[in-house]
Structure 1
Amino acid sequence: MYKAKHLSPMIPSIDIVKTVSFFIDLLRFEIIRDDKTYVILQKDNLTIHILRAGKEIGEMEFYLEVDDLQSIWNYIKDNLNGIKFKEPFDQNYGMREIHLVIPMTKTLLFIGQQIG
């Protein structure tokens, strides 16, 4: 079975600069990725993802980074009846991901593994 490496909240923001400043100035997080509309902050072994809120973004999201995405997919793929999902695929930012909508919520779960 897989090993969970990180579980990171993905927080939609209407003002990314102010949201990022909150975590940096008050809680001493550091920026590890900044694409202007998507920022990843880190403190010790914890990460928080800040993304631009908008028409298509605004629901709660979590990112679960794992060490073996294929084993999770093999385990869950036959048990997704009634669950909205996207099969494993590669992202241009170096992650292979599965996307799942958590039932009875407005929450999206990204499960990802670094490629290469």
Structure 2
Amino acid sequence: MSILNKTSNLRPFVPAKDFAVSRAFYKDLGATEIWASDDMVLFQLGGSQFYLQAYYVKAWAENTMLFLMVEELEQLWEELRALDLVNRYEGIRWKEPTDYEWGLREIHLIDPAGVLWHFAKVLTPAG
């Protein structure tokens, strides 16, 4: 077995078109700042972490997708609606919880830089 099979805590780097705006967005979303410098922040969402960086390339940002499993997708949707991020931040778009044929129910949320987040829960079989 490769030593890579014993790794944990993959931390993606997320671009920010406007670093201050994206930093505020993620704080409002509920992410906790673990560490910060002038051009990078390590955020935590539950058991997951990611780096927000003051770096932006449009094609990269708009082709970045992050996938996060959540336990209570419907509760997350209600929290997102209450936060009203789509009206508080320019460029934010979302898609309500939707069932997909690959067995997941997902919320899609696009951040201020164009990064697409998939928040998902496994669908339970009917009956």
TM-score by length of 2: 0.45
**Structure with the higher strand share, 1 or 2:** 1
TM-score by length of 1: 0.49
